[in-house]
Amino acid sequence: MSSHNMIEIRGLDSHYKGRQVLFNIGFAIPHKKVTVIMGRSGCGKTTLLRHLIGLKPSESGRVFVEGQDMGSFDEKGMANYRRRIGVLFQSGALFNSLTVSQNIAVPLKVHTRLSDETIRIMSLIKLHLVGLADFLDYMPSQLSGGMRKRAGLARALAMDPEILFVDEPSSGLDPITAAGLDDLILELRETLGMTIIVVTHELESAVKIADQMVVMDRGNLLAVGTPDEIRSSQDETVLRFLRREAEEQQVNTESYLSRLLGRQYKAGENSTRRQGGVR
């Protein structure tokens, strides 16, 4: 097994109450890189993350962390792993009855024996990092959507995780705030050397931040590669996915696609498809 991989997934299936939602997923997540998981709503991205953070048990031999089978982790092994990861859930999931700084302090209080003063300083550093240092004493309800996302990110970073999982960092945000989050993610990779896994369905953001892109379709793995490899894929299902995503983003589809796909894209082809009712 390659030592350059932080996590490896092999032949992972997943079910909810007998209904299969992931089918034979296999790919590797390299150390200190940004891996972006993409795919349409309901294709299984969050479910996959739940396996990777140990919230949904996987069969033995399916998920490996630095070569160690996660299925064989005992309680202590899982607790050790959890201490190495930070997670920003899709919902942001701040505690509404706690202030911003109290929210950030929660993981430090749970996992460490640091003094209150040290915890206060560490929380402040993380809030600085996400640009919220002036909002320490705000309640989550007093923050905008983008600020809540950033506060959630600060909490995910509280323990200085080696691996950061982020589910839909920019959904529901305006483009400028979303771009700011993208930059922050790149900064975390550059300055702290974090291994980062981001789930998104913003194609533009994915192309910007990804070292590696993973494209899923209805519980299956469609493609894995660099953004360039994905964009130059000849695979019809991948191309269809890129077209659909571009259409959904409601920008000027024609110019957007020619920018993303370069020469492979022919304007006539896309409009025919749209008239043909392809989703």
Ligand X SMILES: Nc1ncnc2c1ncn2[C@@H]1O[C@H](COP(=O)(O)OP(=O)(O)OP(=O)(O)O)[C@@H](O)[C@H]1O
Single residue of 23, 31, 46, 139 touching Mg ion by CB under 5 A? 46
Single residue of 47, 58, 195, 270 touching ligand X by CB under 6 A? 47
Least separation in angstroms between residue 77's CB and ligand X is: 25
Taking CB under 6 A as the criterion, which residues in 54-93 touch ligand X?
Answer: 90
Q: Which of ligand X, Mg ion, none sits in contact with 41, Cβ below 5 to 8 A by type? A: ligand X
Tell me the backbone φ, ψ of residue 8, rounded to 5 degrees: -125, 135
* 14/195 with CB nearer ligand X: 14
Q: Which of Mg ion, ligand X, none sits in contact with 186, Cβ below 5 to 8 A by type? A: none
* 46/112 with CB nearer Mg ion: 46
Single residue of 1, 15, 16, 111 touching ligand X by CB under 6 A? 16
Single residue of 29, 43, 166, 209 touching ligand X by CB under 6 A? 43
Least separation in angstroms between residue 15's CB and ligand X is: 9
Q: What Rg value do the Cα atoms of the chain yield, rounded?
A: 20
* 38/159 with CB nearer Mg ion: 38
Single residue of 2, 3, 41, 115 touching ligand X by CB under 6 A? 41
Closest CA to 241 of 230, 252, 256, 253: 230
Q: Residue count of the chain, please give it.
A: 279
Q: At what angle do helices 145-157 and 116-129 cross, to 10 degrees?
A: 130
SS3 per-residue string spanning 173-235: CCHHHHHHHHHHHHHHHHHHCCEEEEECCCHHHHHHHCCEEEEEECCEEEEEECHHHHHCCCC
* 101/167 with CB nearer ligand X: 167
Tokens at 165, concatenated: 């999982």
195 - beta bridge partners? 163
3-state SS class at 12: strand
Give the up-direction half-sphere exposure of residue 234: CA atoms within 13 A in the CB hemisphere: 0
Q: Which of Mg ion, ligand X, none sits in contact with 43, Cβ below 5 to 8 A by type? A: ligand X
> With CB under 5 A, what is the number of residues at the site for Mg ion?
1
Taking CB under 6 A as the criterion, which residues in 179-218 touch ligand X?
Answer: 201
212 - beta bridge partners? 35
Q: Can you list the pairs that 56-59 forms with residues at least 24 positions away whose Cβ atoms lie under 8 Å?
A: 56/14, 58/12, 58/14, 59/13
Site string for Mg ion, 179-208 (x = CB under 5 A): ------------------------------
42 binds ligand X (CB under 6 A): yes
Contacts to Mg ion by CB under 5 A: 46
Contacts to ligand X by CB under 6 A: 16, 21, 39, 41-47, 90, 201
